[in-house]
């Protein structure tokens, strides 16, 4: 796999519009990615997205994106959907053991239970099939993340010695195997985020796993490579080890420069958004120097409801950097 440089903006599925598609196409941003809302309702928002794939209005937007030369991808916290709590009564051993030694269906899974992994991988392959539309060109890249929470990994006897990153690596490798059964060119993201920001130690990524680095805990007001900012120093610290393990080919940054859902406290109505152009330019230079081939950002809460309140958002710095990355 040799990934040509690329970029995307991640928006919520209900924010996909001709306006956003035109904005990407006119700015030279090659991909628009749909990101169902995470958090406690991640399973429901993922189910809603899968249902949307059969909705004629949604399909018309996919066709329009294709006609404007855009790829469409899907990125989401998928674990609650893949292993629903409704399975707990019949298969408690599929679920994680918490610090008190109790099996619980709250988050993730037991990464050492082969039947759980088979079930999860089967659900992932089904979801991938439903998200593969004949209306758009396939990128063969998949983004099915574990749950969006801290403290959600398994403490059973077998998992105890595995770090959260190792547990995530086991699940991710298993899902990729299922994806490749129907899409031999499939690749799958390892999300380096929160508890899984450090690289796995005992489990290696299989061929086709690529790094997706999402520095959620950084300070968004200063460049990531500003070593005087403790949060940014800590966020950037694992990058060399991550790139050494996963390689730079296909390595993706998922940033928050345009994430107006974050800046709005994940509560509508959206707040007015101001792009921090200095941080965007500095961060792009840093990530490009490190060798990342995909530099992307969340861009939620900038849809039609935003425009009705504030007009078109100014995303010029991000768009200019993305265009330059993809055309150099």
For Zn ion, the binding residues (CB under 5 A) are 110, 112, 154, 156, 159
* H-only helix segments in the chain: 18-27, 42-52, 56-67, 79-82, 114-131, 164-182, 230-236, 239-246, 260-263, 277-290, 304-310, 316-327
Please name the helix (run of DSSP H) or strand (run of DSSP E) that holds residue 103, with its range, or none: strand 103-104
DSSP state of 6: B
Pairing mode, strands 103-104 and 96-97: antiparallel
Query: What is the full DSSP assignment across 261-328?
Result: HHHTTT-SSPPP----HHHHHHHHHHHHHHT-SEEEEE-TT-SHHHHHHH-S---HHHHHHHHHHHH-
- Interior angle at CA 286, CA 280 and CA 289, nearest 5: 135
Question: Which is closer to Zn ion, CB of 37 or CB of 149?
Answer: 149
Question: Which is closer to Zn ion, CB of 163 or CB of 297?
Answer: 163
Least Å distance, CB 160 to Zn ion, is 8
CB 32 within 8 A of CB 58: no
Question: Which is closer to Zn ion, CB of 156 or CB of 279?
Answer: 156
Least Å distance, CB 157 to Zn ion, is 8
Least Å distance, CB 179 to Zn ion, is 23
Least Å distance, CB 152 to Zn ion, is 12
Question: Which is closer to Zn ion, CB of 155 or CB of 323?
Answer: 155
Least Å distance, CB 46 to Zn ion, is 23
Question: Which is closer to Zn ion, CB of 125 or CB of 154?
Answer: 154
Question: Which is closer to Zn ion, CB of 11 or CB of 110?
Answer: 110
Q: Which residue has the tokens 């840093």?
A: 286
Least Å distance, CB 109 to Zn ion, is 8
């Amino acid at each position: 796999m040799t990934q040509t440089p690329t970029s995307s903006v991640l928006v919520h599925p209900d924010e996909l519009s001709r306006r956003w598609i035109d904005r990407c196409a006119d700015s030279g941003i090659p991909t628009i990615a749909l990101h169902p809302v995470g958090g406690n309702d991640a399973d429901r928002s993922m189910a809603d997205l899968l249902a949307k794939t059969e909705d004629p209005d949604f399909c018309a937007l996919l066709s329009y994106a294709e006609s404007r030369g855009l790829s469409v991808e899907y990125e989401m916290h998928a674990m609650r959907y893949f292993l629903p709590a409704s399975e707990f009564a019949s298969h408690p051993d599929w679920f994680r053991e918490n610090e008190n030694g109790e099996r619980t269906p709250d988050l993730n899974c037991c990464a050492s239970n082969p039947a759980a992994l088979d079930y999860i991988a089967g659900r992932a392959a089904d979801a991938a099939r439903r998200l593969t539309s004949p209306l758009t060109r396939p990128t063969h890249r998949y983004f099915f993340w574990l749950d969006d929470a801290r403290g959600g990994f398994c403490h059973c006897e077998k998992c105890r010695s595995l770090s959260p990153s190792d547990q995530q690596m086991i699940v991710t490798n298993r899902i990729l195997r299922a994806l490749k059964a129907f899409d031999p060119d499939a690749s799958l993201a390892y999300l380096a985020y929160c508890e899984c920001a450090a690289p796995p130690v005992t489990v290696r990524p299989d061929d086709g796993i690529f790094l997706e680095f999402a520095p959620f805990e950084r300070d968004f007001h200063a460049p990531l490579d500003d070593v005087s900012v403790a949060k940014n120093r800590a966020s950037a610290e694992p990058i060399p080890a991550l790139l050494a393990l996963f390689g730079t080919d296909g390595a993706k940054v998922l940033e928050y420069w345009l994430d107006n859902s974050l800046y709005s406290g994940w509560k509508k109505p959206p707040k007015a958004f101001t792009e921090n152009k200095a941080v965007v330019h500095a961060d792009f230079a840093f990530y490009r120097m490190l060798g990342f081939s995909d530099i992307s950002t969340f861009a939620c809460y900038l849809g039609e409801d935003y425009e009705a309140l504030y007009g078109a958002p100014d995303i010029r710095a991000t768009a200019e950097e993305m265009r330059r990355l993809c055309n150099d």
